[in-house]
Amino acid sequence: MTGASMSESVAVQPDDVRIIRALQIAPRASFASIAVALGLTESAVNRRYRRLRADGVIRVAGVVNPGALAQSRWLVRLRCRPGSVEAIADALAKREDVNWVALSAAGCEITCAIQSRTQEQREDLLGRRLPRTAAVLDINAFAMLRQFIGGRGHYWAALHGTLTPEQEAMLGSDGVPFTESPVVTRDPVRLTAGDEKILNTLATDGRASLVDLAAAADSTPGRVSRRLHALLLCRVVHIDVEIAAAALGYHARANLWLRVHPSAVKNAGRTLAQEPEIAFAAAVSGPHNIHAVAHCRDLDELFEFTSDRLGSLAGLQSMEVSPVLRHVKQAGTLLSGDRLVEPPHTRA
């Protein structure tokens, strides 16, 4: 499956984009609530949502935040021998603790994000498995220090303005506003066996009903509702709305590695978070102290964005623009070409 075939086969209509924006704001809102806010029928919202899922345009899933469990998150750049990168990227994408994988640098570099639930799991991958892989020529790992955009509550701003302020107010939210905070909490949450079952179910379908969550956790809908709210409030999990950017016309993607004066990192990160082109931005360790992911409609727009708007960023000392050749996995969701691929048992 190629990106071209997706753009030809998937016709995203204006009402589809409005539904996607509504889900960004309130990912677990009922179809009835979304229909009222958008002036559509409940059946139309249901039908369009299922088609968007089936076509690989969107996926709603619960994503666990290891930081709430006292585990750090890392970005890793691998330089590989020519001809080996696809196999290594696919192997990484199959791991549950690797939630983002992309190929860049003429097909010789892999960038991935590691969200290991345990220190042993992370050390096994970074300290033993990857270094022993003969095709891996170089490994650079960077700890994520502060996240400015990406994840529940502070989402990709490209769809801002799709709905009116009144419509967004009608949708409300999940009650957990985004606040900038340390990536790793100082007061970790201890998960119960029931919590794990709830999280596993949400990972498959972020819109799973309270009845389904209760059945999975051997509990009652009321208890599950209260526990889910607590898990969201403690940021153990967020309900993520993954979007296939190419379906919305964004065909040029790039990893941005910025070196900013230390005194300007916070302001630079917050400025990036307001840019419609930026889907993710975080302060990281290493020679480049900010990493970001940009989505643009084409390479010319990427050039204009990076040279004009980012080039004038206060405190910027240098910037590396690394176009993404292929996304293999994003936010825990595999891709085929430019389509999001749901696990077989959750296909709409």
**At residue 260, what is the residue type?**
V
Torsion of CA 179, 182, 184, 188, to 10 degrees: -60
Per-residue confidence (pLDDT) for residue 174, from 0 to 100: 59
Cα separations (Å) of 116 from 75, 91, 138, 193, 237?
A: 12, 16, 21, 18, 14
Strands (E) located in the chain: 58-64, 74-80, 98-104, 109-114, 136-149, 237-243, 252-260, 278-284, 290-296, 316-330, 333-336, 339-341
The pair of structure tokens assigned to 8 is 């030809």
One fold for 67-146+331-342 and 249-325: yes
The residue written with tokens 């899933």 in the block is 61
The residue written with tokens 């405190």 in the block is 315
The pair of structure tokens assigned to 20 is 């996607």
**At residue 37, what is the residue type?**
A
Domain boundaries, the chain: 3-61+160-243, 67-146+331-342, 249-325
The pair of structure tokens assigned to 145 is 């220090």
DSSP labels, 162-179: SS-HHHHHHH---S----
Q: Which of 98, 107, 91, 106 is nearest to 76 (CA)?
A: 98
249-325 — its CATH code? Answer: 3.30.70.920
| SS3 state of residue 136 | strand
Per-residue confidence (pLDDT) for residue 177, from 0 to 100: 59
Per-residue confidence (pLDDT) for residue 232, from 0 to 100: 92
- What residue ranges of the chain have pLDDT lower than 70? 1-10, 151-155, 173-181, 344-348
Q: Which of 107, 99, 110, 106 is nearest to 76 (CA)?
A: 110
- Vertex 147 angle, CA 60 and 266, to 5°: 145
**Cβ(110)–Cβ(136) below 8 Å:** no
Per-residue confidence (pLDDT) for residue 218, from 0 to 100: 96
φ/ψ of 225, rounded to 5, equals -60, -45
Beta strand 98-104 with 278-284: parallel, antiparallel or unpaired?
unpaired
Distance CA 108, CA 102 (A): 11
Per-residue confidence (pLDDT) for residue 2, from 0 to 100: 34
Distance CA 326, CA 88 (A): 13
**Cβ(187)–Cβ(198) below 8 Å:** no
Per the DSSP assignment, residues forming a β-bridge with 237 are: 64
pLDDT, tens only, 228-286: 999 998 889 989 999 999 999 999 999 999 999 999 999 999 999 889 999 999 999 99
| SS3 state of residue 315 | coil
Distance CA 129, CA 92 (A): 11
φ/ψ of 100, rounded to 5, equals -155, 125
Per-residue confidence (pLDDT) for residue 121, from 0 to 100: 84
The pair of structure tokens assigned to 44 is 């139309």
Per-residue confidence (pLDDT) for residue 154, from 0 to 100: 58
As a whole number of Å, the end-to-end CA separation of the chain is 19
Per-residue confidence (pLDDT) for residue 8, from 0 to 100: 42
Per-residue confidence (pLDDT) for residue 173, from 0 to 100: 67
The residue written with tokens 């599950």 in the block is 224
3.30.70.920, 1.10.3720.10, 3.40.1010.20, 3.40.50.1110: which CATH number matches 67-146+331-342?
3.30.70.920
